[in-house]
Structure 1
Amino acid sequence: MKYKRKVPTVEAFQLNRDAEINAPGWFARDVKKEMIYFDRCITDGAIFIYGCTINTGCGKLRAKIGDYIVKESSGEIRPYKSKDFARIFERM
Structure 2
Amino acid sequence: MAKYRKKPVVIEAYQTNVELDIETLEGVLHASVGDYIITGVNGERYPCKPDIFEKTYELVN
- The TM-score, its normalising length taken from structure 2, stands at 0.81
> C-alpha root-mean-square deviation of aligned residues, in Å?
1.5
2:35 to 58, 61, 67: 67
Structure 1 outlier segments of 4+, above 6 Å: none
Larger radius of gyration: 1
1:7 is aligned to 8
- The TM-score, its normalising length taken from structure 1, stands at 0.55
The structure showing larger relative contact order (alpha-carbon pairs under 8 Å, at least 6 residues apart) is 1
Instruction: Give 3-state SS (helix, strand or coil) of 1:53's partner.
Output: strand
Count of residues paired in the alignment? 55
Q: Identify unmatched segments of 5+ residues in structure 2.
A: 1-5
**CA separation in 1, counterparts of 2:7 and 2:15?**
19
Higher normalized helix content (fraction of residues): 1
Identity percentage of aligned residues:
36
